[in-house]
Amino acid sequence: MSNLERLLASFFNPDVALRYLPRIAEGMLVTLGLGLAVIVTGVAVGLGLAILRALRIPFTRWMIVGFADIFRALPPLVIIIVLYFAFPYIGLSMNAFTATWLSLSLVLAAFAEEVFWAGILSVHKGQWDAALSLGLSHWKSLREVILPQAIRLTVPPLTNRVISITKGTALGSVVALHEILNVASSGASEAGNPTPLTLGAIAYLILFIPFVWFGRRLEKRFAWKR
Amino acid sequence: METLIQVFFNPAIVAKVWPFLLQGFGTTLMLSALVIPLGLAGGLLLALASTHASRWIRGGAMVYVDFFRAFPPLVLLIFIYFGFPFLSIEMPKLAAVALGFFLNTSSYYGEIFRAGIESIARGQMEAALSMGLKKRQAYRHIILPQAVKNVLPDLVSNTLEVIKLTTLASVVALPELLNNARQAQALTYNATPIVLAALMYLALLWPIVRLMSLLEHKHLATR
């Protein structure tokens, strides 16, 4: 067998590919569901925390900064392993999906809070003064005047964070969540052939390449004019 | 409370596993010290390629960057580590991990450096060339120093991500901190080693998070 034939037979074996395609497709659905759940939870919690911080309620500030620091510093895989392997020792068991979802959502929330907060800070202080002097309440100024301007600025950095953290769904494979990577690598060892891994890789490209391109376009659109 | 300390921060277990975790911590640092410079160098080359005059070189760099940004790094690592032996290419663990991380991080660093280079007005290059500098010299002395300064917060932020990335090496049983912590947890039937490892990661990475926040706010203020 020539080298090329051997390469094709091991990485692009049609028989193996056909056999494992349905399982990879199921894994794709899990990855997609988990990814969407993480994005919705993480962005919502992050925005909520940034708003809370902007309302300048005493003591909340330090708690929010502490939360954001801890979950930006800890590697996501460490958080998943703490939730999945350490918490059961105190009677708090959760399944692989919940552990992965919760970990990645906490990480995304921490980064999103910082991005939204930076956006809020970057809106000129005069806007606050103007809104308040028009008789708007603190909350209304934030909602009607500050946030709409702040959120525009946060779109490109937030998109990049969302992509990189959503790719972390692959970490669920470590706690045996049946997402793409997990079914692909167990398929590869079962079949004694890496074709399922190739399928898995293609599945990730199908899911994430559009995101990466979308992020690129956003960056161009929102780029500072030279 | 008593039981909580017993299972989450048991002093006897801390004393027992500390040397083993410290060893893992050393490997984590070593791995970071290997991957960060490699990623920076690769990223710089990619950035120069993606701002190159030739359309083909630009396109090639962009395909590389998009491809490896779309792949979860763990998928890349598993592919290299479990897939390559099928081509009769046996790779040492460290080489597989370093290659996987390099492909991933260089594309991220590449995007950051590219944004930095593009933030410098074209006139700077024209001015440098008209003063008799060679293109190479212009990049080295005029363009890159300013470019790096403009994207410093992003560089720090990505470096933080690279160090966090090293935890993935535990999946192929490279004896870094997370791997050793999980082994110790399995041997002691106790959560203390994992909690201790998490605290060690926090001790290492929290200062970088603070630095990142500081740089970002400074950046915002000077805009």
Distance from CA of A138 to the nearest CA of B (A): 24
Is any Cβ of chain A less than 8 angstroms from the Cβ of B73? Answer: yes
HSE-CB at A213 with a 13 A cutoff on CA atoms is 7
**Residue B223 contacts A, CB cutoff 8 Å:** yes
Distance CA A108, CA B137 (A): 41
Closest Cβ opposite residue B171 in set A6, A85, A174: A174
Q: Looking at the predicted complex, does its ipTM rise above 0.90?
A: yes
For residue A13, the chain B residues in CB contact (below 8 A) are none
Half-sphere exposure of B37 (CA within 13 A, CB side): 5
**Does B151 have pLDDT greater than 90?**
yes
H or E element that contains A188: helix A180-191
In chain B, what residues touch A198 (CB-CB under 8 Å)?
83
pLDDT value for B222: 59
pLDDT greater than 70 at residue A157: yes
Query: A139-152: per-residue pLDDT in tens?
Result: 899 999 999 888 88
- Position A223 confidence tier, pLDDT thresholds 50, 70, 90: low
User: Nearest CA to B151 among B115, B121, B125?
Assistant: B115
Report chain A residues whose CB lies below 8 A from the CB of B214.
Answer: none
Determine whether the interchain pair B71/A201 forms a contact, defined as Cβ–Cβ distance below 8 Å.
yes
What is residue B109's predicted lDDT score, i.e. its pLDDT?
A: 97
pLDDT in tens, A78-109: 999 999 999 998 888 999 999 999 999 999 99
Are A201 and B86 an interchain contact pair (Cβ–Cβ within 8 Å)?
no
Mean local confidence (pLDDT), B28-39: 97
Q: Do A75 and B119 touch (CB under 8 A)?
A: no
Least confident of A84-93, B84-93, B139-148, B169-178: B84-93
Residue B176's SS3 state is coil
Preferred mutation among B79, B162, B205 to probe A, highest tally of A CBs within 10 A: B79
Q: Is the pLDDT of residue B87 over 90?
A: no
Chain A closest-CA separation from residue B126 CA (Å): 16
Q: What is the pLDDT of residues A53-81, one digit of tens each?
A: 998 888 899 999 999 999 999 999 999 99
